[in-house]
Amino acid sequence: MHSILIIVFAPLLAAIIAGLGNRALGNTVAKSITTGALFLSAALSWPIFLSFVSGSAEPSVTPVLHWVQSGSLNFDWALRVDTLTAVMLVVITTVSALVHLYSWGYMDEDPDQPRFFAYLSLFTFAMLMLVTADNLVQMFFGWEGVGLASYLLIGFWFKKPSACAAAIKAFVVNRVGDLGFMLGIFGTYLVFNTVSIPEILAAAPSMAGSTIGFLGTRWDTMTILCILLFIGACGKSAQLGLHTWLPDAMEGPTPVSALIHAATMVTAGVFMVCRLSPMFATSETAMHVVTYVGAATCFFAATIGTCQWDIKRVIAYSTCSQLGYMFVAAGVGAPGAAMFHLFTHAFFKALLFLGAGSVIHAMHHEQDMRYYGALRKKIPLTFYAMMAGTLAITGVGIVDVFGFAGFYSKDSILEAAYASASSSGSFGFWCGISAALLTSFYSWRLVFLTFYGKPRWSQSEHIQHAVHDAHGHGDHAHDHDDHGHNHGHDDGTAGYHPHESPLSMLIPLGVLSFGAVFAGFLFSHSFISEGTGEFWKGAVAFNEHLIHHMHEVPLWVKWAPFVVMLTGFVIAWNNYIRNPKAPAAFVEQFSVLHRFVYNKWFFDELYNFLFVRPAFWFGRLFWKAGDEGTIDRFGPDGAAWLVARGTRYAQKVQSGYLYSYALVMLLGLVGAVSWVMVR
């Protein structure tokens, strides 16, 4: 199984060569090396995955290098390959390879391409290290490595202040989660005396009933460990509370959003919970927490997605929401369903993002859907790709016949949530159903606003720029006469002609469309059917009972997602095709609600108020009033002042007059004599 070494390290090598070679290599060479490495990794990953699907492969661990030994704490660099890893391998390498290819077209005009491709490959390496980790610390290495790559790629256009701010925000918010992860690792080591994942998972059931102190309170051991680790997962997977960085991360180039903030990195939290599922399974409380947080995120993010105007932000909130689904599945004890949704989601969400990128590319970097419209005829291939993605994410399909990818995975999650028959499970189910309605609504809203209706391009500054650049060079006098000058076009196009993307961008769209259409149909049997233990081979702990019950849920549960999907579609159709005035009327009627949702439930404002501003305020306080006003004032400066003051008095005493010395002598003598006498 040494191909795993090539799969993991080829991207690293490519990243180093392209990154350090940079301008010396030139764009084409750097791009070829990184893209080639990724296609190589992808080509080697699929056989591994397929051998697990067919059941012929066994889990393996490939040691790489000794890492740390400190007392009984001992961990190595090693690459673990089992079913769970194999699933992630194909997802990561395939999407990454396609995104590399796509970026040839998308980033064609960027002056800094080698750096971009080096970052992409570096990210892929870190992500692969994460999913092949055999111990918690290596997982944390990958975890932070992808965080670094994400930071670098969000801030890729570092001249933009908003991009820099978003990059820092992503890193720091993730670090909050990472602190939880770290404490989880510490606690795990304390309890299990190892950080090796297989050993922990094997020993976890024996910890049942044990308790442990944490921050002065007493906890069920497994509950607190799982919750701490889950905090880490929440950070990376942008779950409620720690989600604020994800929408801002859209400042990065669109291929980055597709690869990192949709298909792979943000799913790391889900992967972690699935990888540690035997551990989570020992604590019901922790499982409830996972389900509740996932369900709440699923619903909450979907609401915000319904009223964003930026095409990428809609998809970003959609990602957040879909991650919630995965956590619901993991929380109710169906990690197979969670991984299945992760798998299908990677294809259709990467497709949606890359499709959005293609639209943005066509519309000269305009991202606001208010300025789109009627693009169906102009960029038909992108339109079909987006349609495939939308059909997949909304879960279109007929039970027992055929469905698009999301149909299988999302329905299996909802069925599992229903079948779990716990309070958290039904919360998850109802949140999931509501979110499915919202998902259908915002997805179709996106499609209708972008591809249907009349062109509304003339309002867009980006489009005006493009038009002016194209036409305006010759006659400067014209440019100045009025702002809304449409060059004689009053059809809303401003004379702009969107162009279909180049082949390098269309091929990835095509491949991913295939995935979005067929991934669910082809692999649902392996991931979630009864007797699926043969596929997973113990890589995740799933509840055989639950799987059984999943297939026996009432018919209305099976059909409910279909109904809400249809409802969402109809509402979107009504609001954006039939009666385009409806949304405005709705907003007017429910302005408070709309403001709340439109402003993303005011999380950013809240965090600014609670954390960011106090941090700076306290920093200044400690510096000025603490260090300078107290410590220095009464410490060294105070001592210096005392000495200076003291010497001034001493100086006065040494007047040089004989009589004053004589007086002091006399006084001293009197004092000494009286001391002797009195004693």
Partner 1 sequence: MNGFPILSAMMLVPLLGAVVCLFASASSARKIALAATLVDFALGLVLWSQYRIGGDQWQFRESVALFQGFSWKLGIDGIALLLIELSVFLMPICIGASWKSVEKRVGEYMAAFLLMEMLIIGVFTAQDLFLFYIFFEAGLIPMYLIIGVWGGANRIYASYKFFLYTLLGSVLMLIAMLWMANDAGTTDIPTLMAYDFDPAAQKWLWLAFFASFAVKMPMWPVHTWLPDAHVQAPTAGSVLLAGVLLKMGGYGFIRFSLPMFPEASAQFAWLIFVLSMVAVIYTSLVALVQSDMKKLIAYSSVAHMAIVTVGLFAFNRQGLEGSMIVMLSHGFVSGALFLCVGIIYDRLHTREISRYGGLSINMPRYALFFMLFTMASVGLPGTSGFVGELLSLMGVYQVSSWVAAISGTGVILGAAYMLYLYRRVAFGDQKNADAAAMPDLDAREIAMVVALAIPVLWMGVYPESFLAPMRSDIAALEARVARAKPAGDARFLAGKPTIQTHAEHEGAE
DSSP assigned state of 502: P
Q: Check if the beta carbon of residue 57 is closer than 8 Å to that of residue 27.
A: no
For partner 1, the closer CB: 175 or 487: 175
Phi and psi torsions of 403, nearest 5°? -150, 160
DSSP assigned state of 196: B
Q: Please, what is the minimum distance in Å from the beta carbon of residue 306 to partner 1?
A: 32
* Residue at token pair 């006659």: 475
For partner 1, the closer CB: 145 or 561: 145
For partner 1, the closer CB: 47 or 646: 646
Q: What angle do the packed helices 83-106 and 3-25 form, to 10 degrees?
A: 20
Residue 434, judged by CB atoms within 10 A of its CB (0-12, 13-18, 19+), counts as middle
Q: Please, what is the minimum distance in Å from the beta carbon of residue 140 to partner 1?
A: 6
For partner 1, the closer CB: 180 or 336: 180
For partner 1, the closer CB: 72 or 654: 72
DSSP assigned state of 333: T
> How many other CB atoms are found less than 10 A from the CB of residue 40?
18
For partner 1, the closer CB: 223 or 513: 223
Q: Please, what is the minimum distance in Å from the beta carbon of residue 110 to partner 1?
A: 14
Query: In angstroms, rounded to a whole number, what is the distance separating the alpha carbons of residues 401 and 540?
Result: 28
Residue 481, judged by CB atoms within 10 A of its CB (0-12, 13-18, 19+), counts as exposed
Query: In angstroms, rounded to a whole number, what is the distance separating the alpha carbons of residues 562 and 558?
Result: 8
Q: Please, what is the minimum distance in Å from the beta carbon of residue 9 to partner 1?
A: 13
Amino acid present at 581: K
Three-class SS state of 473? coil
For partner 1, the closer CB: 167 or 263: 167
Q: Please, what is the minimum distance in Å from the beta carbon of residue 223 to partner 1?
A: 5
Element (H, E) at 306: none
Q: Check if the beta carbon of residue 518 is closer than 8 Å to that of residue 405.
A: yes
For partner 1, the closer CB: 619 or 671: 619
Residue 485, judged by CB atoms within 10 A of its CB (0-12, 13-18, 19+), counts as middle
Q: What angle do the packed helices 284-305 and 311-331 form, to 10 degrees?
A: 160
Instruction: Identify which of 369, 352, 130, 366 has the alpha carbon closest to the alpha carbon of residue 255.
Output: 352
Residue 310 pairs with which residues in a beta bridge? 368
Element (H, E) at 373: none
Q: Please, what is the minimum distance in Å from the beta carbon of residue 119 to partner 1?
A: 11
For partner 1, the closer CB: 477 or 644: 644
Q: Please, what is the minimum distance in Å from the beta carbon of residue 152 to partner 1?
A: 8
| Tokens, residue 199 | 């050993």
For partner 1, the closer CB: 66 or 548: 66
Query: In angstroms, rounded to a whole number, what is the distance separating the alpha carbons of residues 390 and 451?
Result: 13
Dihedral angle of Cα 245, 87, 92, 435, to the nearest 10 degrees? -30
Query: In angstroms, rounded to a whole number, what is the distance separating the alpha carbons of residues 546 and 332?
Result: 9
For partner 1, the closer CB: 226 or 274: 226
Query: In angstroms, rounded to a whole number, what is the distance separating the alpha carbons of residues 126 and 138?
Result: 10
Residue 461 pairs with which residues in a beta bridge? none
Instruction: Identify which of 331, 307, 304 has the alpha carbon closest to the alpha carbon of residue 319.
Output: 304
Q: Please, what is the minimum distance in Å from the beta carbon of residue 636 to partner 1?
A: 5
Q: Please, what is the minimum distance in Å from the beta carbon of residue 243 to partner 1?
A: 17
Q: Please, what is the minimum distance in Å from the beta carbon of residue 209 to partner 1?
A: 2
For partner 1, the closer CB: 3 or 285: 285
For partner 1, the closer CB: 283 or 358: 283
Q: Please, what is the minimum distance in Å from the beta carbon of residue 481 to partner 1?
A: 31
Amino acid present at 207: M
| Tokens, residue 437 | 């309605």
Instruction: Identify which of 667, 400, 392, 418 has the alpha carbon closest to the alpha carbon of residue 546.
Output: 418
Phi and psi torsions of 382, nearest 5°? -60, -40
Three-class SS state of 481? helix
Q: Check if the beta carbon of residue 505 is closer than 8 Å to that of residue 105.
A: yes
Query: In angstroms, rounded to a whole number, what is the distance separating the alpha carbons of residues 114 and 566?
Result: 45
Query: In angstroms, rounded to a whole number, what is the distance separating the alpha carbons of residues 404 and 562?
Result: 12
For partner 1, the closer CB: 640 or 673: 640
For partner 1, the closer CB: 159 or 476: 159
Q: Please, what is the minimum distance in Å from the beta carbon of residue 144 to partner 1?
A: 5
